[in-house]
Homo-oligomer: A and B are copies of this chain.
Amino acid sequence: MRSFKHPKRDDIELTRVLYALSDPARLDVVRQLAAEGACTCAALDGGRPKSSMSHHFRVLREAGVIFTEHEGPTHVNELRRDDLDNLFPGLLASVLGERIKKR
């Protein structure tokens, strides 16, 4: 798997994103990425087996939630924040529990 397949921004589907976010393990990953920026897979495993996490990363990746790239011996994951904010404004913020600007 030389490089991963990521959906283009306009191919990201809301239902798929919601599905990807509906698993506690995956939501943890997303929260941690939001809090800490790019992370390797190992930094995000929460003590779960690598093969399980690899599956979850794939779901997140193919839904368009995260972007994974090879960086030397590790894989670095980032949240596709710009794309998601652009497509579904407010979604990530609400899921991450960030306080929405009050007026």
Q: Give me the interface of A with B, judged by CB distance under 8 Å.
A: 14-16, 18-19, 21-24, 27, 87-91, 93-95, 97-100
Contacts and interface: CB of A to CB of B under 8 A. Distances in A.
A54 B87 CA distance: 31
Contacts of A14: 27, 95, 98
Contacts of A87: 98-99
Top 5 closest A-B pairs, CB basis? A19-B22, A90-B94, A18-B22, A91-B94, A90-B90
A93 B91 CA distance: 8
A102 to B, nearest CB: 9
A94 B88 CA distance: 6
B18 A21 contact: yes
Contact of A27 (B15, B21, B89, B100): B15
